[in-house]
Amino acid sequence: MTPFHLAFPIRDIDETRRFYGELLGCPMGRYTDSWIDFDLFGHQMSGHVRPDAGTGAASGAVDGHSVPIPHFGAVLQMEQWKELAARLEAADGIDWIMKPTLRFEGQPGEQATLFLRDPSGNALEFKGFTDLGQVFAS
């Protein structure tokens, strides 16, 4: 699979670097005073400074939960997801939308998930699968 690229709005380069680089453990790429690149589990993300970052979010219903729209994140192997979830649960100041939980239990596509907001208000979801062959199961 080839990596995707996502450009997203951020309020501040330094707080974004701390969140994605230090907390999430995403290697940092190139940056200027108005944008910054990260490697999000093999995918290229570019945060661009925008004064309106974090505004205009809505929500939708999935499996009985209200989830923010739009959101982005990554699909991980379950052990990698558990490590990330533990690191986030141990950290102070996480803006949780949905703490780590199991969705679609016993059904096709069973997955662990968590939702949080970055310092700019962007919603992120990280999913964990025991079997990545179930990602598109219906």
Lowest model confidence (mean pLDDT) among 19-28, 39-48, 55-64, 73-82: 55-64
Q: For 55-71, b where at least 16 C-beta lie within 10 A, e where not — what string?
A: eeeeeeeeeeeebbeeb
Domain limits of the chain? 5-51+69-134
Chain-centroid distance, C-alpha 68? 12
Name the region of 60 (left: φ>0; alpha: ψ -120 to 50; beta: rest). Answer: beta
Instruction: Indicate the length of the chain as a whole number.
Output: 138
At position 114, the amino acid (one-letter code) is: L
Residue 60 is predicted with a pLDDT of 82
Does domain 5-51+69-134 fall under CATH 3.40.190.170? My reply is no
Residue 87 in tokens = 């690191």
Chain centroid offset of residue 45 CA: 11
Q: Running DSSP on this structure, what letter comes out for residue 65?
A: E
pLDDT tens for 17-38 read 999 999 999 999 999 999 999 9
Q: For 38-49, write each residue's pLDDT tens digit.
A: 999 999 999 999
